[in-house]
Structure 1
Amino acid sequence: MTATSGYTVETLRWKNDAIEMIDQRLLPGTKAYVRCDTAACVAAAIRNMVIRGAPAIGVAAAYGIALEARHLKAAFSGQFQTGLDQAFDLLAQSRPTAVNLFWALNRMQLLRRSLSPLEPFEITERLLAEAHAIHKEDIRINQAMGAYGASLLPDGARVMTHCNAGALATAGHGTALGVFRSAVAAGKRLSVIANETRPFLQGARLTAWEMVQENIPVTLITDNMAGHLMQTGGIDAIVVGTDRVAANGDVANKIGTYMIAVLAKRHDIPFYVACPLSTIDLTLETGADIPIEERDINEVKGFRECIWAPEGVSIRNPAFDVTPAELVTALITEKGIITNDRLMAKELKSVVENSPA
């Protein structure tokens, strides 16, 4: 199989005065778009996993604010501002762990406040322009991150990833899978090992689908096979994404990531986290402060119409876990590589604030 880099996943798009998002619940069997023209619709799409992945959630939320402004622009100024306040609150409640959601909403809020003397129509146009800018910036950030990350992978590397940190989790290109795409575009031969990622199967349904579309060799495994492959020498590196990084470098990512990081440490395999700077939350001292979302127990009972758990059983469904900074070989950002020695020296704040553009 020859790897190529010409396939483009259009995770979300602005079309006919609305935002359209691939319904990721239907992949890989059906590729269909959900159309939203209100903040409430976008919030529901985020909450129900139509769109997922921290960067993609942030972009969608920015569009949600712009869409609500378009609905309210004919209202009196007071009604316009009150309606926007409600939209910000609604979107902020859609998912608690992904910090990009709050980063994007804060950026839209700061702009909105700076424009408060203007008429609603003018504010609306500026908010939509800002949402478009956030969309385009995310793709540029992922491409820059991919180029840095590609330098860490040797030619012929067998790389494991967990969940989906691809184009589907972003506005395009991807974070962890963006590293793979960039490495292939640079002429490196890679093979990807995708963990299926219970219980929502993002690895099996989404990561495997993306790699197949792009003809990048991919092997799907169940999550509990990861240790065996590391032990038998089948893995050269691990690259994952993240939904939030605390100030000390602790990383929150899809449930199961911590287990993989521990195994990687045991087997002396580098464990890299592809991390846009917008995902670093300097307001939280450690990973213990990161809110962990508990999702619907029906996701663990079965999948779609197939139910395998007995009625009456107690179920837990934390969607994320936290990997301590000492298990992270490096963070891959759009401004360069933050190595573990810098994380452990508590330099993350200065790296984030002082990195050259």
Structure 2
Amino acid sequence: MIDAISFSNDTLHYLDQRYLLLREEYVSTKSHQEAIEAIKTLAVRGAPLIGVAAAYTIILGINSFKGSKEEFPLFFKTLIADVEASRPTAVNLFFASARLKQVYDDNFATDTIDVLFAKMNEAAKKIHLDEIANCDLMSRHGVDQIKIDLADILKKRKLNVLTHCNTGTLACCGTGSALGVIRLAWQEGLIERVITSESRPLLQGLRLTAWELQHDGIPFVSISDSSSAFLMQRGMIDFGIVGADRIAANGDTANKIGTCAHAISAYHHNLPFYIAAPVSTIDITIPDGTHIPIEERNADELRTIFGTQVAMPDTPVLNYAFDVTPGKFLRGIITDKKAVVGNYVEELKTLFGQ
């Protein structure tokens, strides 16, 4: 399996995803400022991976602390704020920071600094291990749901699946969310071919998903983001599955820009379209997608490709990183606990014991 992120000897190691496929560059750092910059610049990307990176970034930060216990609360508050400001949409980041804040709240009054830091280290490692395990659980639930929803087609032939952006090992630590489902479906003989849309402007589908599929020997073809409706019209796509950066309580889902167009096309053509994401991606505190903050990124990500100018330097640009797909366009949400279909408001609450 591709080792997208690891932590050892008080050092964060990660694959810089900005340069794939031009080169494979692994970076090691003990600096939490450098790790925050890696999250900001998408050297580390993908909602679950961002959560793991955020947890380890907090550990790097506390490892750099040299003051007294009385000085630590202000340092920790500033560190958490800096990490949380790195990417506003991916709720996994806030899930990770909340886990470590809880360790701090539960133990600061009674533990020494060394004991507190050891407990926080263990919590960060647990977040990482949980994300790996979550991928296997999502994959199983997703394949089981596909077998139910597409049983009639599977009696005749294998399936062609559309995916968007990158949701594999590079994004999730384990086998992946949506791509993890696809991998297991391929292993069980359900998939004929994967159709991966390019995912402008940073081409995560064309670069990263294609790279992972080729690595695994899974047949695929890449398309422009605007091609999926035409392929659905021609019967070349049987279903779609993507990941998520935040899911609201009603099933509205923020994911890589372009997802909503794919989902609406699938809905129009009566094709199942799924979200695959761990429960940590669900933000049960917000009622719908209008409350999800949508990151707007630097215009040069659109005006240039790998540093090559493809538009006039002063071209006005709106570069939103995500869009929000209304829950009504989804066939189901695949989580590590279960495949959720139907009434998202009630079903998603059950995942949190509500």
The bucket for the TM-score relative to the shorter chain is over 0.9
Secondary structure of the residue aligned to 1:44 is helix
Q: Counterpart in 1 of 2:78?
A: 86
Runs of 4 or more above 6 Å deviation: none
Q: Is 2:63 the partner of 1:70?
A: yes
Q: Counterpart in 2 of 1:328?
A: 330
Shift of 1:282: 1.0
Q: Counterpart in 2 of 1:166?
A: 168
Q: Counterpart in 1 of 2:11?
A: 18
Q: Counterpart in 2 of 1:351?
A: 350
User: Aligned partners of 2:256 and 2:213: how far apart in 1?
Assistant: 19
Contact 2:69 2:113 in 1 (8 A): yes
User: Aligned partners of 1:84 and 1:41: how far apart in 2?
Assistant: 17
User: C-alpha offsets along residues 50-91 of structure 1, whole Å, 9 cap, x if unaligned?
Assistant: 10111000000111111212222x431022332222210100
Shift of 1:351: 2.4
Q: Is 2:51 the partner of 1:52?
A: no
Q: Counterpart in 1 of 2:177?
A: 175
Secondary structure of the residue aligned to 1:183 is helix
Q: Counterpart in 2 of 1:224?
A: 226
User: C-alpha offsets along residues 218-241 of structure 1, whole Å, 9 cap, x if unaligned?
Assistant: 101111111111110000110000
User: Aligned partners of 1:104 and 1:51: how far apart in 2?
Assistant: 15
Contact 1:54 1:242 in 2 (8 A): yes
Q: Is 2:268 the partner of 1:266?
A: yes
User: Aligned partners of 1:201 and 1:83: how far apart in 2?
Assistant: 37
User: Aligned partners of 1:350 and 1:57: how far apart in 2?
Assistant: 24
Q: Counterpart in 1 of 2:305?
A: 303
Secondary structure of the residue aligned to 1:347 is helix
User: C-alpha offsets along residues 133-174 of structure 1, whole Å, 9 cap, x if unaligned?
Assistant: 110110001110011111215461100001111111112211
Identify which of 205, 215, 221 aligns with 1:203. 205
Contact 1:141 1:276 in 2 (8 A): yes
Q: Which ranges in structure 1 are unaligned for 5 or more consecutive residues? A: 1-7
Amino acid paired to 2:59:
A
Q: Counterpart in 2 of 1:4?
A: none
User: Aligned partners of 1:189 and 1:232: how far apart in 2?
Assistant: 18
Amino acid paired to 2:101:
Q
**TM-score normalised by structure 1 residue count:** 0.93
Q: Counterpart in 2 of 1:121?
A: 114
Amino acid paired to 1:37:
K
Moved more, 60-69 or 192-201: 60-69
Q: How does 1:138-177 map to 2 (within 5 A)?
A: 138-151=131-144, 152-153=146-147, 154=154, 156-177=158-179
User: Aligned partners of 1:194 and 1:349: how far apart in 2?
Assistant: 28
Shift of 1:255: 0.4
Secondary structure of the residue aligned to 1:143 is helix
User: Aligned partners of 1:37 and 1:128: how far apart in 2?
Assistant: 14
**TM-score normalised by structure 2 residue count:** 0.94
Identical columns (%): 38
How much is the aligned-residue C-alpha RMSD, in angstroms? 1.4
Q: How does 1:283-322 map to 2 (within 5 A)?
A: 283-322=285-324
Q: Which ranges in structure 2 are unaligned for 5 or more consecutive residues? A: 148-153
